[in-house]
Chains A and B, each alone.
Chain A
Amino acid sequence: MSSGLDAALAAIAAGRIVVLAGDALRGGDIDLMCAARHVTPDVINFMATHGRGLICLAMTKARADALGLSLINPGPHRQTGRPFARSIEAAHGVSTGISAADRAHTVKVAIADGASAADIHSPGHVFPLIAQDGGVLVRASACEASVDLARMAGAGDAAVICSIMRDDGEMARIDDVGDLLSAHGLVVADIRALIERLEGAEA
C-alpha cells in the first residue's frame, strides 16, 4: 500500500495530477487532485475535461480567515457535509472567470503570500473548501487529504480537487478509471493509506 502513497507524493511534488480514492464521507466518489501552487490552465482544463465535477480549492482555516472566508453553512446539519465557503474569483486579471486560465489565475491569487479579502470577489467560479485543522485524521475526506498530501510533498498547504464523473453522468468509482490512469500515467493516493501512515507516525 505505501508504494502507492510514495509515488503519489512524488507526483504531487513534481506538480502532477493524482487521483484521490477512499474518501469515507462521499459514498465512493473519487477526485483528481493537484497542489494549488502547481495549478496551471492546463491542469484546470484537464480537470474540466476528465474530472467533470466541481473544481474546488481546498485550504486551511488560517488561509480562509486571511481571505475573509468562512463556512457558508456552519451549523451541525449541513446538507452535504462538505465544508464550502462562498465561491470566489480573482478581483483582477480575469474575464468571465470560468475559463481554464481564469480559474487557474483565481487559484494563484487566493494562495499568494499575503492574499487577503481585497484580492478576491464573490460569487465566482472557484469553490473553496475549508479543511479541518488536524486534517485527514479528524475528517477522512478528500478536502483534508489533499491539504495533508500537498504539505507532505513539500508543495504548500492548498490543493485543487475535482470529482470524477463517468460518461453516463454517474460519479466514477476507482474501478471506472483504468483507462484514465493508464492513458495519462496517473497515480492513485488512497486516503486510508494516508491515514494509516499518519497514525503510524503519531504512534
Chain B
Amino acid sequence: MSEGRLSRRALIAGAGTAALAAPVLAQQAGRLIDLALPGGPSLRPTTPAFPGKGEMIVQRIRPPLLETPMAVFREGVITPNDRHFVRWNWDMPTEVKAADHRVAVGGAVKQAVSLTLDEIAAAGETVSVVAVNQCAGNGRGLSEPRVTGTQWGNGAMACAKWTGVRLRDVLARAGVAPGAKRVRFAGLDVPLTDGAPQFIKSVPMDIANRDDVLVAWAMNDEPLAILHGFPLRIVVPGWFSTYWVKMLATIEVLSGEDDSYYVAKSYRIPAQPITPEDKDFPTLPITAMPPRAFITSHADGKAVALGKPLVLEGIAMGGDAALERVDLVGKGWTIPCTLGPDEHGPYAFRRWQVALPPVAGDLTDIGVRAANVNGAVQPEALAWNPSGYARNVIERITLRAQ
C-alpha cells in the first residue's frame, strides 16, 4: 500500500454495493447453519451475496450484522477479509467518494482542522498492528439465562493486520488543548429515525495517545471495504470493537466526560458480578477484552476414535495483553497446550494444540482455558450480564468415543 495517496482509492468505494438491497439478498440465500444457541431458534441463513464477502451467517441484513462461520478459524490466525464479521449500528452510506471525504478534528483543540485522506496519511509514520476485532456482544446468543440483543454465536470476531497512522499524530494536526480528557469519534452512519442516538464513542486521552491506536485505512494490506468502514476506521488493539468507529468523519476532543448514549447508557457492564435477579446495579463502560480460547479442530458432539491418540487444536488470544498459556481442562484434570508461533504481537490470535494419549472413553465437558501475561484467566462460570457482553467463559464441548 503506497503511503500518502489514499484518494485514488475512490474507485473501489461503492463497487457492488447495489447488492445490499434486501430483495437481492433474499434471492441469494445459501444454506442454514446451526449456531447451537441454548433453547434456539439457532438456525440462521448464510449468504455470500454481500459485496466483498464470502459465506457469512446473516443475523440481520440492514444495517448488516454478518457473523463469521466458526469453520473459518480452523486454520491460520489471520481472518481473510471476505470472511471478517460485519456489524453496523445504523445504516451506512453505500458509496463514499474518497477524494471528497474529510475528517473534521475539533473540540478542545488549538485549531480545528478538516483533513483529506492524503493529509491523514501524511500526519505521521505509517504503522501496522495485528489485532483481534471482537464485538462486545460476541457469544451473546450462548448466554444462559437468555438475554436480549443480537443472538451472536462466537463468530463476531476476526483477526487482521490494520495499517494507518497513529491517532495522536492526527490529533497533533489540530493540537490538543490542555486539560483534554477524552477523544470522541463519529462516522458516516446515520440513525434510521429522528430521535435515535447517533453512534458515537469516545476513549480516554491516555488510550488515544497510545503507540498502537490507529486511524486505519487498510486491513490485511487492502483498503477497507465499504462494509468494514471505507475509507478510515479507528483501531484500539485489545479493546472491544465498539470503539473501532468506522467511516471516520469526526474526531472531537472533549474536556469533560462523555454523556452520549453509547458511552453513558449503552455498552456498559456490571461493576461487580451480578445475578439475573439483580436490578439497578452500578455499571462501567465495557473496554478491554479478556482472554479467550476456542477448540477449532472438533465441534461439540463429534465422534473420536476409541483407542487412538487424539490431537486437539484451536486459537486463543490474551485480550488486552499477550497470551501466556492455554490449558485443556476437564473434570478435575488439566493438560497444558503447546502454543503456536508468536508471530503477530500481543493482540493477535495464536494457534495452540495438544496431543492426548489414546482415547479411553468420552471426553465430557472439556474446554480450553487461556490466560494472559497480566494474570487474567478465563473463568469456569459465565460472568452473566443482561446485555450479554464480554463473554469469556471456558467453552465446553463433549467428544464421543467410538
Contacts and interface: CB of A to CB of B under 8 A. Distances in A.
Interface of A: 1, 3-5, 21-22, 27-28, 166, 168-171, 174-179, 181, 183, 188, 190, 192-193
B196 interface: yes
Given A168-B151, A171-B148, A21 B62 contact: no
Contacts, number: 57
Contacts of B193: 4, 21, 174, 181, 188, 190
A190 B41 contact: no
Contacts of A178: 62-63, 91, 192
8 contacts: A3-B194, A4-B193, A21-B195, A168-B59, A175-B63, A175-B192, A179-B22, A192-B195
Contacts of B344: none
B304 to A, nearest CB: 32
B148 A175 contact: no
A119 to B, nearest CB: 38
B89 interface: yes
Classify the interface of chain B: helix, strand, loop or mixed.
loop
Q: Which 7 A-B pairs have the closest CB atoms?
A: A4-B194, A190-B195, A188-B193, A178-B62, A179-B22, A1-B194, A179-B62
A193 B151 CA distance: 30
Contact of A170 (B44, B148, B196): B148
Contacts of A168: 41, 44, 59, 151
Determine the interface band of chain B, counting residues with CB < 8 A from chain A.
20 to 34
Contacts of A28: 148
A8 to B, nearest CB: 10
Given A28-B148, A169-B41, A179-B22, A174 B196 contact: yes
A109 B371 CA distance: 65
B151 A188 contact: no
B90 A175 contact: yes
A28 to B, nearest CB: 7
A175 B60 CA distance: 10
Nearest to A187: B193
A137 B150 CA distance: 31
B38 interface: no
B345 to A, nearest CB: 34
A170 B39 CA distance: 12
Contact of B195 (A22, A169, A176, A183): A22
A67 B295 CA distance: 61
Contacts of B196: 21, 174-175, 190
Given A168-B151, A176-B60, A1 B192 contact: no
